[in-house]
A and B are shown apart, each in its own frame.
Chain A
Amino acid sequence: TALVMLMTPGLAFFYGGMVGRKNVLGILMQCFILLCVISVQWILYGYSLSFAPGKGFWGSLEWIGLKGVGFAPYKDYAATIPHQLFMMFQAMFAIITPALMIGAFAERMKFSAFMVFMVLWTTFVYDPVAHWVWGVGGWLKDLGALDFAGGTVVHINAGIAAFMAAIFIGKRKGAENKAILPHNLPFTILGTALLWFGWFGFNAGSSLGANELAVNAFVVTNTAAAAAGLTWAILDWIFHEKPTVLGTATGAVGGLVAITPAAGFVSAMSAIVIAIFASIFSYIAVTVVKPKFGYDDALDVFGVHCIGGIWGALATGLFASKAINPAGADGLFFGNPKLLLIQAIAVGVTIAYSFVVSLILYKIVDVLMRARVSEKDENLGLDLTQHHENAYTMIE
């Protein structure tokens, strides 16, 4: 569980290294403050909204302030680990999800607007969706949708909301004529390493103790990241003469995303196939689709997380096998087309709901306080204008 906590800082450096020198603190701060805010929101009411049993839109409110959430395992979620531990584990999911979005509106969102938007988003988008898919009484869960470690709830959910935000906040100044160069790629690699490391906790931990499942998740997670990273490197090699570090890291993250919903249901060999296609689809989304439609999804949250998440969720419908996880189901390639359909429904519902509600919330925030910083502030950078700090000293 502790591992999962490292993912948010990991993400912070993954993103932070890719932005301009004048905006790196903006990224780090946004990730860091989410770690603070959502940790508190979660124990106050978020966990209850998401996981307290209830057939409705949200879970019930009986677990507010962790009331009744003790050490005794809550068998419907995890028979073997203390309820509070499960709660913490889920908290990390609730933190990383909004953090993923940061990449889309990077370098131009006002911090105050960011804070308000994120609290609203977690409450009105993340919590309900989490409830539907994972909560006792959640209707997608009852439908039989499989989401091992958050492909739908986390990645598609965040990815599509990010897509919305990128479109409506508009392009970065300077992004029109040229690429904004990553100011510190080693930080991006460091972040990737921490993400990869944390993801083991993310996926293996999602087996909630069941030993064999954890091992399988561990193996396929590593395999998928590796295969996807390699795939992207090769694609770069083919289309841009040289394999790039940023590309390899991006691919690896894409592979981790794609395997997330499938980690507990597929074999290592299937993982390789899933990973290869994950990279290919993301590669197309990032290098072909994005420029074509010209939205400025600054750090490709949509291209990597949404696309990867969708593919992963559907792939689960294709490659899932009872041989791996008896508690799971068989996918198309194992003679059960129905699962694929259910997965598709879950994906569709999440996309539709998340996009619409996120948009509404965004518009509210934008009207109330303008979501985007002024042009002058954008030129000076978020670090100085939003946080009154410089990331690095230039002369000493």
Chain B
Amino acid sequence: MDKIISKEEVSSIFKDGMTIMAGGFMGVGTPQGLVSAMLEAEVKDITLIVNDTAFIESGVGPLISNGRVKKVIASHIGTNPETGRQMIAGELDVELVPQGTLAERVRAGGSGLGGVLTPTGVGTVVEEGKEKITVDGREFLLEKPLRAEVALLKAYKADKAGNLIYHRSARNFNPLMALAADLVIVQVEQVVEIGEIDPDEVMTPGILVDKIFVQGGCC
């Protein structure tokens, strides 16, 4: 059950047309090495589920700039002008989702729920095409679960069982995406032996993590 994987092995995982989730908030907490491995895989028509498309040359931005992405589901695309340009040019399909709703949809996908009943977006364009459910006289949008074939996470530290600890504001979407994909790959700064992480301090249990890529090589 060795979970540690090389960059070449990461690259070989990606296929055209895949749906990929990646952690990060404006690039902070984005696994840059995994994004780079994905770029090297030369895949296309990717559907990308991310909080934002970061910047042209960092975060998940290079996947957009290099034309690998067919559709983005995100809460914010404003810091990467290439996302906006491709969207207006009709090259890229963009689904904008309020950030809290995006988090809930990923959670629903990872935790077996049928959807989310949120007040966010009621009375705005966000409600278009969505079912509205009234509970005790108040309207909520039914927002559907999101899942991916692969989730790309960034953590600070892992043990060899895949138990993860995140660092500061680099945590963001990573812990929730760990539940919502068929294959979960994490990029970490360091790997320690099993038993070296206090079970009370684990932020994502190792059973959710399939592969560990160590930044700058391992062990």
**B is a partner of A:** no
Chain A residues near B (Cβ < 8 Å): none
